[in-house]
A and B are shown apart, each in its own frame.
Chain A
Amino acid sequence: MQTTVDTTPENDAVEHGHGAHGDHPDHRLFGMFVFLGAEAMIFLGLFAAYLTFRAVADVWPPAGTPERELLLPGINTIILISSSFIMNRGNQAIRKNDVKGLQFWFGITAALGAVFLVGQGYEYYTNTFGLTDNLFTSTFYVLTGFHGLHVMFGLSLILMVLLRSTTPGHYSSESHFGVEASELYWHFVDVVWIVLFLILYIL
């Protein structure tokens, strides 16, 4: 479901943006905001379900759940948050028509995103609990997994921007919707992670 949904604003950008209907102003960023609002509601729904399970249970996490390691996810959190700031430098660069700067900062962001995913994978691999052990472990994997899918998608958006930026003149200080959209998406993924980290690991 996710992938089909997310690509569309980008597709519009390519095939339609300034084609037959090019005489109206560009509303793609507005549409992207609206769409992310809907995306946020999926996460809100899942968070609400998690918090309800938690509130109704007497013991949480259910007896027998192993202790969770905080170090690795902590590092991962720092990586993801800092990547958002780094990514913003790339956007600033393209506003000054600096394509090299865009590529540099987006390159670092992509690398950090990849590190996050590897870290997440490593955590899954070393975890001593499985998906179906109990209600906590199930929600843990579904929430982090669903978020991980979004990170993957965000990462592919960044890589797409990087690829397109190799075409001279594709992005300029006037026209860089792809840059804006992928950054917006990445911030969204970042914010979701912070909430997720707080309720799954800290609370």
Chain B
Amino acid sequence: MSTSILEPTPQAAPEPPEPERHWKDFFGFSTDHKVIAIQYFVVSFAFYMIAGAMATTIRVELATPDADFLGYEHYNGVLTLHGTMMIFLWIVPAGAAFANYLIPLQVGAKDMAFPVMNGLAFWLVPPGGALLLLSLLAETPPSAGWTSYPPLSLMTGQVGQMMWILALLLLGTSSILGGVNFVTTILKMRIPGMTLYDMPLFCWAMLATSLLILISTPVLAGALILLSFDLLAGTAFFNPTGGGDPVVYQHMFWFYSHPAVYIMVLPVFGIISDVLPVHARKPVFGYKAIAYSSLAIAFLGNIVWAHHMFTSGTPGWLRMFFMAATMVIAVPTGIKVFSWVATIWGGKLRLNSAMLFAIGFVSMFLVGGLSGVMVASVPFDIHVHDTYFIVAHFHYVLFGGSVFGIYSGLYHWYPKMVGRMLDETWGKVHFVLTFVGFNLCFFPMHILGLQGMPRRVVQYDPAFEDINRICTIGSIILAVSTLPFLYNAIRSWFWGEKASANPWNALTLEWQTSSPPIIENFEEEPVLWSGPYDYGIDSEPEEDDRSVAELLAEVKAEM
């Protein structure tokens, strides 16, 4: 499927002279951030579909209380790879895809700070993904869950588990290299005159994300190095039979993997903050509050990891500290949600697919945020930890949050990236199916968990069968919902309506160049003539009554 998206790339070649974009660029090592971004998009979407297919098989298995579809042999392997791939090969690289495409354009640069390193970072992803896929064919695939807690992970298949570790090391390295590039580009390569407060909020979000990547991902690498010694060399860092301590692994793992949640959702916060004002035709509400709250979330995200271990080997006082720290995150997150609602309130909403997914994001993420505050509470978390309540919670954050946001971003920037518009009707069909399927699949899981169904089980109490059936039906609708998007994306690539440079009349810099942008982005250095979200100047009676479109045209003419 990935190739079918890639093939039509010659269409994307811009007419202007100078160095031409060649379709072969997309299949080899490129240093152009836009090419790398498309490569990220296509590869991560391909893995999304693979991991999504795995999710569907999991749900089909769980349609009945017995282990009768995947069975005991395959269930845990599929479960482990579903989680690992969705995180490390879909949401994280999809965030990197947006970052690659947008950061240089939004700060008015010609490319990333370190283009070669950028290409290298991308090319670590396919081998990592291939390793994970191949591990399915190992005698025993990695089957200790995406958390791979020892001692279980030391007792399942050695080969499969080691492939899992290597894949994560590759993907982690890719992520770190990306982070170095994003930080440097954002801090050092803005056009003259663009202060940090003139940046689009996506750049703020990526700044926070990159800091999180740089601080936390290396610690995961440390944990995986120790785990691989236990696995291969016979040490006992995490193995109690040799005096080691499995709880230390949990600490190191979550020191990365909790921030990883913010690594996955912060870029999407940035996307939403950029999409909502454009289609609401209204300035973003509380720019600085949203910008700072990203940094606050990044900071707090680093000191809450042990809330994943409230029922593990953590002493009571530690549980209390991490409960308090975790709850505090509700404050910056709440600020964002309120600000988004206030942004669309009173606007003139263009309810196109990008906007629907953006509003859908706010609505679904809210549910994940509310259940997030609940599970921060230690006495309650003790009940629901490792149950379907948690499964529901993190799917609301990572699917209802991240994936809705990614779709919103795709509908919003597709015209810029491809030079053609997506079809709105199919976009709306896609949205409705996704929204219905998602809620049908994941909302009932809250109740399952509260009632007593643990997660990661292939067989369960028959009392839960009815609710599980609903979830399975939802998951199938969700799987089907991908098809209209795929059809739309491929069809529009060839035959979509041609997109102008600025089809949405947006104000950020990426819309000041052609669609798709020329090889080094801008004909001349772009001019920062307004803030990123200065909408509504035409409704100010004092000023002239030209529309944004006219102003933009004027600026273009002056250039």
Chain A interface (Cβ < 8 Å from any Cβ of B): 1, 4-5, 8-9, 11-12, 15-16, 20-21, 24-25, 27-28, 30-31, 34-35, 37-46, 48-49, 52-53, 56-57, 62, 131-132, 134-135, 138-139, 142, 146
Contact = CB atoms under 8 A, between A and B. Distances in A.
Contacts, number: 138
Most buried by A among B109, B170, B215, B520: B215
A5 B176 contact: yes
Given A5-B177, A45-B255, A49-B226, A38 B245 contact: no
A107 B233 CA distance: 37
A31 B235 contact: no
Contact of B218 (A16, A45, A132): A45
Contacts of B177: 5, 8
B184 interface: yes
Given A8-B177, A38-B180, A27 B221 contact: no
Nearest to B230: A138
Most A CB within 10 A of own CB, among B181, B214, B218, B225: B218
A134 B217 CA distance: 28
Given A49-B252, A131-B233, 11 more contacts: A1-B169, A4-B120, A8-B120, A8-B177, A24-B109, A30-B188, A31-B114, A34-B214, A37-B215, A131-B229, A142-B235
B199 interface: no
A146 B225 CA distance: 10
Contact of B173 (A1, A25, A48, A146): A1
B115 interface: yes
A125 B550 CA distance: 77
A4 B221 CA distance: 14
B229 A142 contact: yes
Nearest to A28: B114
B221 A42 contact: yes
A41 B216 contact: yes
22 contacts: A1-B169, A21-B111, A31-B113, A31-B180, A31-B181, A31-B184, A34-B184, A38-B215, A41-B218, A42-B222, A44-B218, A46-B222, A46-B225, A49-B222, A49-B226, A52-B248, A53-B248, A132-B236, A132-B242, A134-B236, A138-B235, A142-B226
Interface string B107-143: 0011101111100100010000000000000000000
B244 interface: yes
Main secondary structure of the interface of B (DSSP, over half): helix
B237 A41 contact: no
A16 B234 contact: no
A17 to B, nearest CB: 10
Interface in B30-83: 31
Contact of A8 (B116, B229, B244): B116
A49 B218 contact: no
Nearest to A15: B116
A29 to B, nearest CB: 10
A49 B111 contact: no
A135 B114 contact: no
Given A5-B173, A49-B252, A135-B243, A35 B180 contact: yes
A46 B248 CA distance: 11
Contact of B184 (A30, A48, A146): A30
Contacts of A44: 218-219
A24 B187 CA distance: 13
B179 interface: yes
Contacts of A45: 218-219, 221-223, 252, 255
A16 B112 CA distance: 11
B183 interface: yes
Contacts of B456: none
A8 B243 contact: no
Nearest to A49: B248
B211 to A, nearest CB: 9
B341 interface: no
A52 B225 contact: no
Nearest to A4: B173
B188 A56 contact: no
Contact of A16 (B114, B173, B237): B114
Q: Most chain-A Cβ atoms within 10 A of its Cβ — which of B114, B177, B179, B252?
A: B114
B226 A46 contact: yes
B498 interface: no
Contact of A62 (B115, B179, B237, B243): B243
A7 to B, nearest CB: 9
Contacts of B255: 45
Given A24-B189, A135-B237, A11 B214 contact: no
B188 A16 contact: no
Nearest to B189: A24
Given A16-B116, A34-B180, A39 B236 contact: no
Contacts of B117: 8-9, 11-12, 31
Contacts of A28: 114
Interface in B154-210: 169-170, 173, 176-177, 179-181, 183-184, 187-189
B383 interface: no
A52 B245 contact: yes
Given A4-B173, A41-B216, A132 B234 contact: yes
